[in-house]
Amino acid sequence: MSQSVTTNTNSELYARCGFYIDGRWIFPDDARCIDVVDPASEEVIGKIPLARKQDLDAAVAAAALAFADWRRSHAWDRAAILKRTAYLLRERAASHAGIFSLEQGKPGTEALREIGMAADHFEWAAEEATRLVGQIVPARPAGTVSVVEHQPVGVVAAFTPWNFPALQIAAKVAYALAAGCTIVLKPSEEAPGIAMLIVQALHDAGLPSGAINLIFGEPAEVSERWLASPEVKAMSFTGSTRVGKLLAPMAAASLKRATLELGGHAPVIVYPDFSPKEAVSLAAAVKFRNAGQACVSPSRFFVHKEILNDFTREMVAFAKSLKLGPGSDETTTMGPLVNRSRVDAAARLVKDALDRGAILECGGGQPADRNKGFFFEPTVLSNVAQDSLIMIEEPFAPIAPIVAFDDDDDVIGMANDVEYGLGGYVLCRDPVLAERAAEGLNVGMVGINNLALAGADTPFGGVKASGLGREGGPGALEEFLQKKMTKRAVTV
Ligand code: NAD
């Protein structure tokens, strides 16, 4: 069903909501506030409060109190609430998409699609909850029986970013709640409205008070306070590898469980038996989706030299066909970056690549026809040196660097030569070569002739500096569970 996107009462939403603690919305009168900015116009669209220490502690206290009952609730009852949440998100998708496309910048159609994917996670988590079975182990000595059951770990501190602000909240919250955990959540301050709306949907679906608590704040102050709290038993973070490496030792200091969904730098290897036109039609839309701000975005294109020129020409044509604009404009196919610092970071990567001999095929900076907004042109670079920063650092920008290869083994080494290992893609018609390449890529997820890796039904996550743990898929609740074994003498 196609839905049109409605905008935008962001400032009213922020003012009405603020924090959600123990089942109530609170906007403290004396809270420090920060502006929420529309990245397409640079205009302030509202204010949100920043948590004080007492707010952070109140959120944890509410989650700890609620855990006592929520952990004992019946899995079918938890599942019913999560399914109702999914239903409400789908029902409200059009207005929700308008709210967060305005604050985050993505086109309304992408925002709608993301809300659908978030709802998928709530449904998948609900179903996983009702299939969470334990084990009876034949025990020794005879006359004993060992029962293994799953128990929720406790209060989970969840930190989510701005690039897929609905999806990434769902990918944590749905599974933690399904497992019987309670949550303190700090979403990105750059896209606060969709977080409020998801929490409102959980509230309306009947989630008990305290089971989820939402605050905004200075990120480092929040994580330091929550990760030092003995009441918090697990952390789940999605964001940069830099911040993940800061938070992991803080969680480890008090032996908290940690799930880390960090950066990626996905290679795409295009073999000469794959039509360059088809390769671009598969890869380019994913490359420029969300203006390249996705952790599984294809971000290094290794193209066989036999098809290099054709591939580059097609990629340039696609990049030039994109229409930049605000997410609320139905004709927009690529929105702005989320903030000024992302624009500066993209410009720095392009300059460095050009300094090292790359050829600027198109784009390369802020569009000349826009003097407002954090827009960056869809950019294609060819002849990119392997030691360029853009081949090392995650670009998180609409930049497609293209590198030629001619040796099937060398290209796997080049593709693996980064600290990241999240996604990777192989475009190849020869099934043996394709399997060999996929097997050689040191990543958590590979697409063979397919660039759609994310979905609630499969595990999402990486290896190396891309993180620890998985979100979604069969067994997704395990991130939030611990095993308890009870051994009984059955004959005394
Ligand atoms: P950043 O690392 O400053 O922030 C990313 C997110 O982490 C933000 O939502 C922020 O609120 C949160 N954060 C930052 N410091 C924190 C702290 N001390 N405690 C708790 N949370 C904290 O990055 P950025 O400049 O906003 O984004 C650019 C980089 O972030 C990209 O290069 C990319 O690697 C990464 N990123 C990755 C994802 C992902 O899906 N894996 C999402 C967003 C950003």
Q: Are 215 and 27 in contact (CB under 8 A)?
A: no
Instruction: Give me the catalytic one of 114, 295, 314, 377.
Output: 295
pLDDT value for 492: 58
pLDDT value for 429: 98
Q: Could you tell me the mean pLDDT of each successive run of 10 residues in the chain, 492 residues long?
A: 54 93 95 96 96 97 98 98 98 94 95 97 98 91 93 98 98 98 98 97 98 98 98 98 97 96 98 98 96 97 98 98 95 96 98 98 95 97 97 97 96 98 98 98 98 95 97 96 94 64
pLDDT value for 5: 45
Q: Radius of gyration over alpha carbons of the chain, in Å? A: 23
pLDDT value for 490: 85
Q: Is 389 in the pocket of ligand 1 (CB under 6 A)?
A: no
Q: Are 363 and 337 in contact (CB under 8 A)?
A: no
Determine what percent of the chain falls in helix, strand and coil, rounding each to the nearest 5: 40, 20, 35
Domain borders along the chain are: 13-262+467-484, 266-456
Domain made up of 13-262+467-484: CATH architecture = 3-Layer(aba) Sandwich (3.40)
Strands (E) in 240-349, as ranges, are 257-261, 266-270, 298-304
Q: Show contacts of 471-475: CB within 8 Å, 24+ apart.
A: 471/171, 471/172, 471/175, 471/259, 471/261, 472/121, 472/124, 472/171, 472/175, 474/128, 475/128
Q: Which segments of 380-455 does DSSP mark as H helices, in order? A: 408-416, 431-440
Angstrom distance (rounded) from CA 227 to CA 256: 8
Closest by alpha carbon to 191, among 88, 330, 48, 85? 48
261 noted as active-site residue? yes
pLDDT value for 265: 98
Mutate to test the pocket of ligand 1, among 243, 246, 468 (most ligand atoms within 8 A of CB): 243
Angstrom distance (rounded) from CA 247 to CA 235: 9
Ligand 1 mean position, distance from CA 240 (Å) = 4
Residues 6+ apart with CB under 8 A from 354: 360, 364, 381
- Hey, which residues does 151 pair with through a beta bridge? 482
Closest by alpha carbon to 398, among 319, 339, 282, 453? 319
Please compute, for residue 126, the number of CA atoms within 13 A of its CA located in the half-sphere on the CB side: 20
Ligand 1 mean position, distance from CA 396 (Å) = 11
Ligand 1 mean position, distance from CA 41 (Å) = 22
A 10 A CB-CB count for 76 gives 10
Q: Are 38 and 45 in contact (CB under 8 A)?
A: yes
Amino acid present at 38:
D
pLDDT value for 262: 98
For the domain made up of 266-456, the CATH class stated in words is alpha beta
Q: Is 162 in the pocket of ligand 1 (CB under 6 A)?
A: yes
- What secondary structure letter does DSSP report for 491? -
189 noted as active-site residue? no
A 10 A CB-CB count for 57 gives 15
Q: Is 396 in the pocket of ligand 1 (CB under 6 A)?
A: yes
Q: Is 242 in the pocket of ligand 1 (CB under 6 A)?
A: yes
Mutate to test the pocket of ligand 1, among 240, 265, 389, 399 (most ligand atoms within 8 A of CB): 240
Ligand 1 mean position, distance from CA 337 (Å) = 14
- Hey, which residues does 485 pair with through a beta bridge? 148
The region, left, alpha or beta by phi > 0 then psi within -120 to 50, assigned to residue 449 is: left
